[in-house]
Amino acid sequence: MKQISLTIVIAIASFSGFAQTKTVGKIFQEGKNKNKSYVLGDDKAMDVVLESIKAYNTNDAEKDLAFASKERAEKMRDFTIKYHKGMKSLDQKPYFSFPLKVQGSEDNLVFTVSEENRVYKNGSKEKIYVFEVNTVNKDLKITNFLQFVSRPQENEFGLKNGGKVYLKDTTSTFTLSNRGEVAAIEKMAAAFNKMDAVGVSSVFADSITWSHADGVTQRVKTIDFWTAHFNGTKSVDWKINRILPYKITDTDPESGILVNAIMKEEFKNGVSFEKRQVIMYTYNLEGKISQVTNFMKDVNPVVNKVQK
C-alpha cells in the first residue's frame, strides 16, 4: 500500500513538473518577442532541415536551394551557386537537432549542431563545428538561417590566431586586426593618387618615424613631409595589390599592416621610377599611423646571368 501511494505521489509530482515545463527559456533580445518563452516545435520542421543538409552535401546548388522559400531562394541564389562552384566536396554530419517555437508563432526554429568538412577546388581543406538555427515556416520551407562557427586548432585555415612572434622573454601569435586599418589605407591611396597632402596626412599621427628603402630613417612632421613631397612631384600612380592588418595576440590595440603595391612616380626634376613595394605601417592606440618602414625593388629588375 505504501509502495502504491509512493508511486502515485511520484506520478503526480512528475505530471506537475511536466505541466510547469511546457514552456522553456526566455528571449532577452529587444523586439516583439522579448520576454517570451519557447515551446516544443514540430519534428516535420526538423526533418526538413536534416534533408536540406543531405542536399547541401551533394554540392548541388539547386538541390540546396530547393528547401528554401521562394523569397529566400531568390535572395541567396547567386551566393549559393558561387559557393558550391568553389567546392570539391562537402560533408556535414549533424550531432543533434531539435525544433522549438516562440510562443504564439507558427514558425519553427530548428537548432542543429554539426561537424562539417569542406574540401575546396583550390586545394584547401577545412574542418569546422557549426551551430545553426533554421527558421521553417508553416509550409515547411526555410525562410532564414543563422550559423555560428567554431574552428579547431588543427584547422587548415580560418583561425583567429596564427604565425609566431619571437619576443624577448616569450613567443606569441598574430591576430588579424579590425580597427579600420584597411579603410585608412584605401582612403590614403585615394588621396595619394590625387596628390592631396591634407588627405594623406589625415590617416597619420602629427609626426611619424619613416624608415626609407635606402636605409635612411627620419622623424618627420606629417603635413610638412607630404606637402613638400607633392610640391616636387609631377604625377603619381599607387596601385595596391594586398593589405594585411595584424597585431600581436593578447596585447594592447596597437597594430600593424602590410601593404603590397606598385608605385609609379614622376618628379618635376625629370626623375621617374616604377617600384614594387612592401610597406609596414604601425598604428598607435588612437588608430593613426605612427611609423612606416618601406621596402622597394624595381618592377623589371636586371637579372645578372652567370657566365660559364
Most confidently modeled range among 8-22, 58-72, 242-256: 58-72
pTM value is: 0.70
Q: Who has greater pLDDT, 308 or 247?
A: 247
Residue range 230-250: mean pLDDT, rounded? 95
Residue 304, pLDDT score: 59
17-67 pLDDT tens trace: 444 458 999 999 999 999 999 999 999 999 999 999 999 999 999 999 999
Do 26-150 and 175-298 show the same overall fold? yes
Domain ranges of the chain: 26-150, 175-298
Contact between residue 39 and residue 27 where contact means Cβ atoms under 8 Å apart: no
Distance (Å, whole) CA 273 – CA 165? 34
Domain 26-150 fold: Nuclear Transport Factor 2; Chain: A, (3.10.450)
Nearest residue to 125 (alpha-carbon basis) of 93, 161, 152, 145: 152
Top CATH class of 175-298 equals alpha beta
